[in-house]
Amino acid sequence: MERLNVTLDDEQAEKLARLAERMYVQPGTVARSLLSNALDEADPDARNVVELLDGMPGAHERAQLGLAQARTGDTVSLDEL
């Protein structure tokens, strides 16, 4: 087991405190649980996703088109989404 020090900004810290209060547990306990879930979700198995994508005819062609658009700058910034 590894101990980490994590600093939250005010907004996130307040949200965590609210959650902990609602659940009658310590903020650290909630944070640990949420972080564990987030880590699981952040690192899904790429091999499964490749299989999934390969089984979707048209997906690779769409990706190729997207890559070409990336190259030519035919894109929309995340801030404009």
Q: For binding to other proteins (CB under 8 A), which residues are involved? A: 41-47, 49-50, 52-72, 74-79, 81
CB of 80 to other proteins, least distance (A): 9
CB of 25 to other proteins, least distance (A): 26
CB of 71 to other proteins, least distance (A): 6
Tell me how far the alpha carbon of residue 19 is from its chain's centroid. 20
Give the span between the Cα atoms of 12 and 50, in whole angstroms.
Answer: 34
CA distances from 4 to 1, 27, 32, 39, 44 (A): 10, 14, 10, 14, 23
Of 33 and 64, the one with the shorter C-beta distance to other proteins is 64
